[in-house]
Amino acid sequence: MNQSMPELSTKELSQTEQKLAEHLFSAYQTHQPLQESDYEGVVTDEETAYQVQRHLTELKNEAVGGYKVSLTSQETQDMFDSDSPLYGAQVKSHFVSSPTTLYRSDLMEPLAEVEMLFTAKEDLSSTDSLMELLHKTTVAPAVEVPDSRFSD
């Protein structure tokens, strides 16, 4: 199964967009939050956001372990002024089995969320029927602990 991010475009990041990815990576490593106002207007469209995310994932220099899909309901899309679900690559080390202990000192602004974890047993296709997806995946309960790179 391909564990890299899906191709979005060949758009080159501007220097400002590259710096944002580098600053996000630095916050990730040092646990020192960024000020959101310092980056206002740097990313103004979805394509650029995904490209910054791709660069940030490359900077982590770690295999992708899976993807987080969010805003899957119309209600949550409306809350965030979105017209579709969003996804983000997650590095392999971020998937841990229970029991595990997370330390507050390793996080900035964590939030525990109950989730469902889907694991593909074989390659998935956008043309798969619901029944095919059911047979190609396993589902398990999970706890996600998202963290912010920005203060407040």
For the chain, percent of residues with pLDDT exceeding 90? 63
Q: By the 8 A CB rule, do 133 and 124 touch?
A: yes
Q: Which residue has the tokens 């991010």?
A: 5
Work out how many domains the chain is built from and give that number.
Answer: 1
Q: Tens digits of per-residue pLDDT, 37-94? A: 999 999 998 899 999 999 999 999 999 998 888 998 999 999 989 899 998 889 999 9
pTM comes to: 0.78
Contacts of 107 (CB under 8 A, 6+ apart): 31, 145, 147
CATH of the domain at 137: 3.90.850.10
pLDDT at 10: 52
Enclosing domain of residue 107: 15-144
**Residues in the chain, total:** 152
